[in-house]
A and B are shown apart, each in its own frame.
Chain A
Amino acid sequence: MTTATIAGSQVELNDEGFFEDPEQWTEDMVPELAANEDIHELDDKHWQVIRFMRQEYFANGTGPTVRALGKTSGVSVKELYQLFPKGPAKIAARIAGIPKPKGCI
């Protein structure tokens, strides 16, 4: 576990860079968290996915996998990979301040 300063606030991250406590996350951290993932311009679709990740996490206890995102977030699998080329569910979870989504498919 490491402590990082994001948008002026101290947050705890696990070894893979996911938030230990999703409650420490605030929306103003998103641009900096995204930049850490090589995403320097955030459009509405990015935000849609990030907010959806959090909503699903708080409803189900885990964030959605790419397949679940593609089916339910309103953003297609193809678009998801354009928005988050290094793995949509994994990267969006990091930016959304939630743990890595569980699931094989």
Chain B
Amino acid sequence: MDLSTHKVSIIVSQGSLEGIYPALIMANGARAEGMEANLFFTFFGLDAVHRQRHEHIKMSTVGNPGLHMATWAGGLPGVSSVMTHYMERKMEALDIPSIPEFIEMISDTGAGLYACQATVDLFGLTKDDLIEQVEGIITVGDFYEMAVDGHIIYT
């Protein structure tokens, strides 16, 4: 099936490892199928394209029942870092790229990366705080115009 006339717009609203990866995989996979794909980073999802933070994305260990560990244990100092490190090792073994590398690759596939204007204002950021692959800081209206006639995925 020719998917090259299809388009997907993916909203990344979470700043955790498990919140960001699915969106990146969906965007990369869409481009691999020849679809147009755009990523819109909003709220804590903006950390994925934040120059200082995108190398330090952590897995959420509090309030994450999927980890099957006691909630109190997830909150202990260092647990999030240890679990993140463990997950990163497993991903590396499967040749899944790190978040910075993955985002650079997705940009190279021709997908568009955009930051949310409201979030940039809220957090007091400028374009200089974001990685160079971010094509622009756009409003929700710009996003809908870009997304028109395609699918929208919210993560």
Q: Which residues of A contact B (CB under 8 A)?
A: 16, 65-68, 70, 76-78, 81, 85-91, 104-105
A77 to B109, CA, bound (A): 6
| 17 pairs, A vs B, C-beta closer than 8 Å | A66-B28, A66-B31, A66-B32, A66-B109, A67-B97, A70-B105, A70-B108, A81-B108, A86-B2, A87-B3, A87-B32, A87-B34, A88-B32, A91-B34, A104-B25, A105-B95, A105-B96
B29 adjacent to chain A (CB < 8 Å): yes
A90 touches B32 (CB 8 A): yes
Q: Chain B: how many interface residues by the 8 Å CB criterion?
A: 18
B1 adjacent to chain A (CB < 8 Å): yes
A86 touches B4 (CB 8 A): yes
Closest residue on chain B to residue A65 by CB atoms: B32
On whether A81 and B31 interact (CB within 8 A), knowing A67-B95, A86-B4, A105-B25, the answer reads yes
Residues of A within 8 A of B129 (CB): none
A89 to B32, CA, bound (A): 7
A85 to B4, CA, bound (A): 9
A81 to B33, CA, bound (A): 11
Residues of B within 8 A of A87 (CB): 3-4, 31-34
Residues of A within 8 A of B1 (CB): 16
Q: Label chain B's interface by main secondary structure.
A: loop
A77 touches B105 (CB 8 A): yes
Residues of A within 8 A of B108 (CB): 70, 76-78, 81
Determine how close the nearest CB of chain A comes to the CB of B100; give it in whole angstroms.
Answer: 14
Closest residue on chain B to residue A88 by CB atoms: B32
A89 to B34, CA, bound (A): 10
Residues of A within 8 A of B25 (CB): 104-105
Closest residue on chain A to residue B29 by CB atoms: A104
Report which of B34, B97, B110 forms a contact with A90, defined as CB distance below 8 A: B34
Per the 8 Å Cβ criterion, residues 24-59 of B in contact with A are 25, 28-29, 31-34
Determine how close the nearest CB of chain B comes to the CB of A56; give it in whole angstroms.
Answer: 14
On whether A105 and B34 interact (CB within 8 A), knowing A77-B109, A78-B108, the answer reads no
Closest residue on chain A to residue B5 by CB atoms: A86
Report which of A70, A77, A78, A85 forms a contact with B34, defined as CB distance below 8 A: A85
Residues of A within 8 A of B33 (CB): 87, 90
On whether A81 and B105 interact (CB within 8 A), knowing A65-B32, A86-B34, the answer reads no
